[in-house]
Chain A
Amino acid sequence: MIGKTLKELGAALAARQVSSVELTQLYLDRIARLNPEINAFITVDAEKSLAQAGAADARLAAGDAGPLTGIPIAQKDIFCAQGWRTTCGSKMLDNFVSPYDATVIGKFDAAGAVNLGKTNMDEFAMGSSNETSYFGAVKNPWDVKRVPGGSSGGSAAAVAALMAPAATGTDTGGSIRQPAALCNLTGLKPTYGVVSRWGMIAFASSLDQAGPMARSAEDCALMLNVMAGFDDKDSTSLERATEDYTRDLEKPLAGLKIGLPKEFYGEGCDAGVMTAVQEAIAEYRKLGAETIEVSLPNMQHGVAAYYVIAPAEASSNLSRFDGVRYGYRAADYGDLDDMYRKSRAQGFGAEVKRRILIGTYVLSHGYYDAYYLQAQRIRRLIANDFVEAFKRCDVIMGPTSPCTAFGLGEKSADPVQMYLSDIYTIAVNLAGLPGMSIPCGFAGGLPVGLQLIGDYFAEARLLNAAHRYQQATGWHLRKPGE
C-alpha cells in the first residue's frame, strides 16, 4: 500500500483489500521509523488518527464513502485542527492546542480523510528551505544533506519519503511549488480565493493560498475537489459554482498554446534545471501543444515588491501574538509593554522578526508611499503583464526554482540569497493566479520542477496539462533511493 496514489488507495479501500485503520497504521509505522531522521512531522497523534480511521471504516462499510474516505493525509502545521497542537513552526505556538478547525481541516474531516499528523514548516511560513522552523530543519529524502525547500518543506518531505500519500501546503510566494520541485512532487497553488483561509494561520493575507501536494496531478485534482469552495467565514473567499477538477484530466493537448516568457529562460537559472525544462517543453510539443514566446517585463521587480507587501501584511497579522490570549508569554516581565516586547522577542525566531521589522518600517510614517504604494503599483504592472500574456496562450511554462535542492546551511546566512529562490514563483502570488509544479527530470541526481501557470480559475486546465504529461512520462513516479 505504501507508495500508491490516492486513486489506487481509494480503490483498495473500496474493495476492502485494506481497512483505513490498517492503512493508517502502516503509515504511522513508517513515520515512526523515518521521521527521526527526516523531521517532516512536528506532531503525530496515533490515537487521534486511528480513531478517525475507525470512523472512516464505518463509513466505508455503510457505503457512505467519497474518493478520500479512509485515506491518511498529512496536514501542514499552519492549519488549526481542533484538539491538535498547532504550532506554525514557531516557539510562539509551541503550547497551542487549537480549540477549532480550519475550514480546510473541516472539509477533509467531512470527506472522511484521516489526519495523519502535522507537518514541519518554516516558522509562520517565512522561508524557502524549512530551516527557520523552531522544531529544526527538515531533510530532503533525495539527499539528507540538502533542504526540502519551504515553507511547506515538511509536507513535501513527508510525501517524498512515502510517510504520507499526500499532504496539504500553503503558498504565499512559492511555498507549495518550490518544495514540490525540490522533492519530485506535484503541487498546486489555486487561484487566490478558491480555498478558504479561515483557520489557516495568516502570513500575508492578500497572497496566502492553500493547496494540495501529492504524487500526481490526478491526486491533486482529487484533493482540490475537497479543499475548494466558498466559505462565508473567509471574507476573501470567492462565491463560485462547485467545480469537478478531475473533469478535464484526459482531454488531449492538441492545440494547447504554451507561452514561454523570455524572462524565465534568460540568465539566473542553473543549466541542469534549464535542460530538464526544455526537454519537458519538447515533450509537450510531441503531445500536440504549440509554443509561443511571451513576455512578462515587470516580473524582474516581483521579488522587491513581494518583500515589501508580504512583510507589511505579516507585521500587521503577527501583531496578534502578544502573550495575552494564547501562545507564548515570557516568564519574567515588568509592565504590560515589557510583557509584549519580551514575549514577542523570545517567541519569534530571527527570520520572522526580520520580516516584522521590514514590514513595520515600510508602513511607518514617511515611507508608506515610497515603499508600500510603489510595491502595490508594481503588483498591478505584474498582474497586467499576465493579462496580456494570456491573450496569446493558455498556459505559461518555465522552471519552478532556479536551482535544485541546495545544501542545509548553504543559504541560511544570507536572507537575500534565500529570497531569490522564489524568483519564478512570486509573480504568480502577486497576480493571484493558479500555479503548479510537476516533476520533469533530474539534474545531478536531484529532482527538477516544471512550473505551469494558468489564467484565473484555470486549475482544471493546468491539471489536464500536468496529467497528460504524466501519462506520457514517468518522472513523477520516481522515488528516492530507487
Chain B
Amino acid sequence: MSLTLEQVRRVAHLARLDISEAEAQTTLGHLNGIFTLIEAMQAVDTKGIEPMAHAQDVAQRLREDRVSEENRREAFQAVAPETEAGLYLVPKVIE
C-alpha cells in the first residue's frame, strides 16, 4: 500500500495540523516507510480472535455521583493563553 499526497493532506486536516507542501512531501516518504512495516501485519490470520483493547480484563468502576473536587478555576486558568472573567477566550465562532 502507498499513501498519496492528497491522503496526507486530508489526514493532516482531520488532525488539525497545518502542513506545508514541503512537509507533506517529506511526511509522505516517512509514512510510506512506516506503513510498509505495518502492512506485514495483514498476513497474520486473526480469524475468530477477539480484539484486545486493554491489558487487564476488568470492568469500568462506577462511583457515586457526588462532588469530589473543589473549584480551582483560578489556578487552572493561570496557565491558559487568554482568559477574561473566568472564561477562555478564542476567536469568534458565531457572527
- Contacting residues, chain B, for A338 (C-beta < 8 A): 91
A304 to B12, CA, bound (A): 22
A residues near B22, Cβ cutoff 8 Å: none
Residues of B within 8 A of A192 (CB): 55-56
Contact A304 B38 (CB under 8 A): yes
B66 interface contact, C-beta 8 A: no
Which of A335, A361, A364, A371 has the most C-beta atoms of chain B within 10 angstroms of its own C-beta?
A361
Assess whether B34 is in contact with A358, with CB atoms less than 8 Å apart.
yes
**Complex: A469 Cα to B71 Cα, angstroms:** 51
Of A95, A206, A238, A315, the contact of B15 (CB 8 Å cutoff): A315
Q: List residues of B whose CB falls within 8 A of some A CB.
A: 3, 7-8, 11-12, 14-19, 27, 30-31, 33-34, 36-42, 44, 46, 49-56, 58, 60-61, 63, 72, 75-76, 78-82, 88, 90-93
Closest chain B residue to A300, Cβ basis: B40
Expressed in whole angstroms, the minimum distance between the Cβ of A453 and any Cβ of chain B is 14
Question: Are B61 and A235 in contact, CB atoms less than 8 angstroms apart?
Answer: yes
Bound-state Cα–Cα, A191 to B92, Å:
47
A139 to B54, CA, bound (A): 35
Contact check, A336 vs B17: say whether CB atoms are below 8 A apart.
no
Q: Mark A363-405, 1 if CB is under 8 A from B, else 0.
A: 0100000110111111111010000000000000000000000
Interface positions of A (Cβ within 8 A of B): 95-97, 99-100, 191-193, 206-207, 232, 235-236, 238, 298, 301, 303-305, 307-308, 315, 319, 322-329, 333-342, 344-345, 348, 353-354, 356-358, 360-361, 364, 370-371, 373-381, 383, 414-416, 419, 430-432
Alpha-carbon gap, A304 to B54, bound state (A): 17
Using Cβ atoms and an 8 Å threshold, which residues of chain A touch B16?
319, 322, 337, 340-341, 344
Name the A residues within 8 Å of B34 (CB-CB): 307, 354, 358, 415-416, 419
Q: Across the interface, do A238 and B33 meet the contact criterion of CB distance under 8 Å?
A: no
Q: Is the CB of B75 within 8 A of A99?
A: yes
The answer, among B14, B33, B52, for a CB contact under 8 Å with A377, is B52
Report whether B82 and A361 are in contact in the complex, using a CB–CB cutoff of 8 Å.
no
A429 (CB) vs chain B CBs: closest residue? B55
Q: Is the CB of B63 within 8 A of A232?
A: yes
Q: What are 15 A-B interface contacts by the 8 Å CB criterion?
A: A193-B55, A236-B58, A304-B41, A326-B76, A336-B93, A344-B15, A356-B15, A360-B14, A376-B53, A380-B51, A415-B30, A416-B36, A432-B54, A432-B55, A432-B56
